[in-house]
Amino acid sequence: MTETFQFRLLAEDGRARRGEISMPRGTIRTPAFMPVGTAGTVKAMYPDQVRELGADIILGNTYHLMLRPGAERVARLGGLHEFARWPHPILTDSGGFQIMSLAALRKLKESGVTFRSHVDGQVHELSPERSIEIQGLLDSDIQMQLDECIRLPAEREEIERAMELSLRWAERSAAAFGEQPGKAMFGIVQGGDQPDLRIRSAERLSAMNLKGYAVGGLAVGEPQSVMLEMLDVTLPAMPHAKPRYLMGVGTPDDLLESVRRGIDMFDCVMPTRAGRHGLAYTRFGKLNLKNARHAEDSRPLDEQSDCSAARDYSRAYLHHLVKANEILGAMLLTWVNLSYYQFLMQGIRDAIEAGRYDDYVASVKEGWARGEA
């Protein structure tokens, strides 16, 4: 822990990087996976459990929290860390992405975006300045600029317009954030699936000298190959000495391939959402516990796992819980999945340190392909 936000690169293996973000609330070992705590809770998990699995940081969603319980209320209650019993670092997104995917009647202007809450129908306005204000009220450690993220495929003109708007919003967000030595505000590279727009966005953001940078607008409908191609062209245009965060990504395979290209941070609802839908991620690949073939299988998901949920409960029992819609099913499978994601990140970090990242990736993928033989 340090009094100011700092990023150190500890090791590199090809383009893969092993690093460390230090800030007053704690140290984040990178590459890092941030479990998503949408509305102030990593769904179906006690906060202590999330920590014990090895998470150094979680993500909170500005959109959800501004609507309920409200940013000013969270501030009066001592901030999001106190509210949600997570004293460690928190990253918040800007709210932009969820407005586009969840809110009704949204209207985008140069100044910001107005929308109707999906919770109670009330109209809200979010500008770059208000987003930073809200993230400040939440007392977020790593804050994100407001951007416009569009789905792919999209017309080049539309991608360019949104990218340019996001750059102007980055300037305004940075000005609103000002100087906060113990915290950081990250800019977000946009540009869809257009290499030159991605590069332009990355270069213009780099010139702003922010404390960290995200790649946004990927994993929004395009094939994985397009996403990786965008990382291939974008990352070299981003500052080497700053943390790089790939937003909303992804599958275990996405993580391996993105780290290989130089990504340091990830967040994704996949392990938590999958856990609520009967899916388990393990060393042997992805399993659908709803499948009848598990109904009388007395084996655990992974008898060698450090995670009790993966080691101590039979597949037959998990199958039953999922079929019967029992809360314990969501609890156990979310636990299994977050445990596997953190296990994977630990393996990634160890492999980069040891200079054998490619071997590690090959052996992990072999495990998935082999299944359980």
Active site residues: 93, 267
Which residue number, 72 or 203, has a Cβ lying nearer to a copy of itself? 72
Under 8 Å between Cβ of 239 and 213: yes
Given 40, 60, 136, 212, the residue binding a copy of itself (CB under 8 A): 40
Integer Rg of the chain from CA: 20
Residue 56 marked ligand-binding? no
Residue 190 marked ligand-binding? yes
Q: Taking contact as CB under 8 A, which single stretch among the options 43-51, 106-114, 202-210, 284-292 is the one that binds a copy of itself?
A: 43-51
Query: Taking each helix axis from N to C terminus, what angle separates 327-353 and 315-323, rounded to the nearest 10 degrees?
Result: 130
Strand order in the sheet with 113-116: 104-108, 113-116, 123-126
* Residue in 169, 41, 176 with CA at minimum distance from that of residue 189: 169
Residues 72-131 within binding reach of a copy of itself (CB under 8 A): 73, 76-78, 83-85
Q: According to the binding rule CB under 8 A, does residue 63 interact with a copy of itself? A: no
Query: 285: which 2 tokens?
Result: 């690949």
Distant-in-sequence, close-in-space partners of 363: CB < 8 Å, separation ≥ 6: none
Q: According to the binding rule CB under 8 A, does residue 300 interact with a copy of itself? A: no
Which residue number, 84 or 132, has a Cβ lying nearer to a copy of itself? 84
Which residue number, 69 or 347, has a Cβ lying nearer to a copy of itself? 69
Q: Taking contact as CB under 8 A, which single stretch among the options 159-167, 175-183, 251-259, 290-298 is the one that binds a copy of itself?
A: 290-298
Residue 93 marked ligand-binding? yes
Residue 60 marked ligand-binding? no
Half-sphere exposure of 225 (CA within 13 A, CB side): 0
Query: Taking each helix axis from N to C terminus, what angle separates 195-206 and 156-177, rounded to the nearest 10 degrees?
Result: 10
Residue 93: CB minimum distance to a copy of itself, A: 17
Under 8 Å between Cβ of 187 and 204: no
Under 8 Å between Cβ of 133 and 104: no
Residue 14 marked ligand-binding? no
Q: According to the binding rule CB under 8 A, does residue 149 interact with a copy of itself? A: no
Which residue number, 129 or 326, has a Cβ lying nearer to a copy of itself? 326
Given 46, 125, 153, 253, the residue binding a copy of itself (CB under 8 A): 46
Query: 131: which 2 tokens?
Result: 């987003």
Given 21, 45, 134, 205, the residue binding a copy of itself (CB under 8 A): 45
Under 8 Å between Cβ of 264 and 245: yes
Residues 309-348 within binding reach of a copy of itself (CB under 8 A): 312-314, 316-317, 319-321, 323-324, 326-328, 330-331
Which residue number, 83 or 169, has a Cβ lying nearer to a copy of itself? 83
User: In whole angstroms, how far apart are CA 354 and each of 16, 56, 64, 244, 348?
Assistant: 12, 21, 40, 21, 10
Under 8 Å between Cβ of 266 and 246: yes
Q: What DSSP state is assigned to residue 302?
A: -
Size of the site for a copy of itself (CB under 8 A): 35
Which residue number, 45 or 150, has a Cβ lying nearer to a copy of itself? 45
Q: According to the binding rule CB under 8 A, does residue 369 interact with a copy of itself? A: no
Query: 367: which 2 tokens?
Result: 């495990």
Residue 254 marked ligand-binding? no
Residue 343 marked ligand-binding? no
Under 8 Å between Cβ of 285 and 251: no
Indicate the helix (H) or strand (E) that contains 206.
helix 195-206
Give the phi and the psi of residue 121 in degrees, each rounded to 5.
Answer: 80, 0
Q: Which residues are annotated as a binding site?
A: 93-97, 147, 190, 217
Q: Which residues are annotated as a binding site for substrate?
A: 93-97, 147, 190, 217
The residue ranges that bind a copy of itself (CB under 8 A) are: 39-41, 43-46, 68-69, 73, 76-78, 83-85, 276, 295-296, 298, 312-314, 316-317, 319-321, 323-324, 326-328, 330-331
